[in-house]
Amino acid sequence: MDDLRRADHDSAAEADADADVSSVDPAILAGIVAKGPQPVLRYLFFLIVVRPVMLVIMGMNVRGQERLAERGPMLVVANHNSHLDTFALMTLFPMNELHRVRPVAAADYFLRTRWFAWFSIRVLGIIPIDRDVRRGRGHPLDPISEQLNQGAIVLLFPEGTRGEPEQREPFQRGIAHLARRHPDVPIVPVFMYGLGKALPRGEGLLVPFFIDAYVGERLQWTGNKDTMMERLDTEFQRLADGARVPETF
């Protein structure tokens, strides 16, 4: 269980968020979480705001998109450099699949104010999880399992934090737990490059760059957490090595 515990805090703002989370009335928060995503709002937000930004302002070069063609349940894991990563991943799926696509996000950060919680849950459609298990009631992976059982396409950033721009952090082992719980659900690794330049952590100014997304081979539960993590890591390294990443000097 403790492998789910966050290695470090994203930023000072996020560290403060731990305190903030209690400032939202738990009853109201529970109400928002229980309602879940608002399908129409969500559809319109992605159609009018997210897609134009990701496809026109940014632009995506996707390799291996056909590996995402099947329906859920599916677990998509990606490296994490920017707030836009989630939007980039969600843009990989057609609009008529949008209702199935659910990003996993840290409750302490995304539910830290009432308005932000409403937006994260109702419009973005996140599955909130507790990064700090001490606070959690029940197993922190339960909400994800529930969605996978309903055939959702779950997006997960196993690095757990956005980290330094365009640098990979070691994967947290929560992903292996999930694989064991759902041995039949395929895990699709996606390596992305570009968003760490376009909107890195701590920056508010979006600078357009093309995003490269490399969709890897599907993986399945290997029967052992260590080998699972190893396979995932190997496949990710293969994708990252095959990606063309411009030199930074």
Partner 1 sequence: MSLAAMIPADPEGWFAHLTMEVRAVLLAVFLLLALSSIVSIGLVWSRPQHDYRELRSRVRTWWVIAGLVAGAMLLSPLAAIWFFAFVSFLALKEYLSLIPSRRADRRVLFWAYVSIPIQYGWISGQWYGMFIVFVPIYLFMWLPTRMVMIGEMPGFLRAVGTLQWGVMGTVFFLSHAAFLLVMPVGEHPRVAPVWPSTHTAISAGPGLLLLLLILTQCNEVGQFLVGKSIGQRKIAPAVCPTTTWAGFVGGLLITVLISAALGPWMTMLDLERSLIAGLVVAIAGLFGNLNVSALERDLGVKEAGSMLPGHGGVLDRIDSLIFTAPVFFHFVWYCYG
Residue 242 sits in the site that holds partner 1 (CB under 8 A): no
> Kind of pairing, strands 153-156 and 211-215?
unpaired
For partner 1, which residue of 52, 59, 94, 183 counts as binding (CB under 8 A)? 59
Residue 61 sits in the site that holds partner 1 (CB under 8 A): yes
Please tell me the distance from the alpha carbon of residue 87 to that of residue 102, in angstroms, as a whole number. Answer: 11
Residue 207 sits in the site that holds partner 1 (CB under 8 A): yes
Please tell me the distance from the alpha carbon of residue 238 to that of residue 147, in angstroms, as a whole number. Answer: 29
Residue 205 sits in the site that holds partner 1 (CB under 8 A): yes
The span from the first CA to the last CA of the chain, in angstroms, equals: 40
Comparing CB distances to partner 1, the nearer of 201 and 218 is 201
The least distance separating partner 1 from the CB of residue 210, rounded to whole angstroms, comes to 4
Comparing CB distances to partner 1, the nearer of 168 and 180 is 168
Based on the number of CB atoms within 10 Å of its own CB, is 221 exposed (0-12), middle (13-18) or buried (19 or more)? buried
Comparing CB distances to partner 1, the nearer of 65 and 237 is 65
Binding-site string for partner 1 from residue 137 to residue 166, where x marks contact by CB under 8 A and - marks none: ----------------------------x-
Residues 81 and 160 sit within 8 Å (Cβ to Cβ): no
Please tell me the distance from the alpha carbon of residue 94 to that of residue 77, in angstroms, as a whole number. Answer: 18
Please tell me the distance from the alpha carbon of residue 165 to that of residue 163, in angstroms, as a whole number. Answer: 6
Return residues touching partner 1 (CB under 8 A): 59, 61, 165, 194, 197, 200, 203, 205, 207-210, 244, 246-249
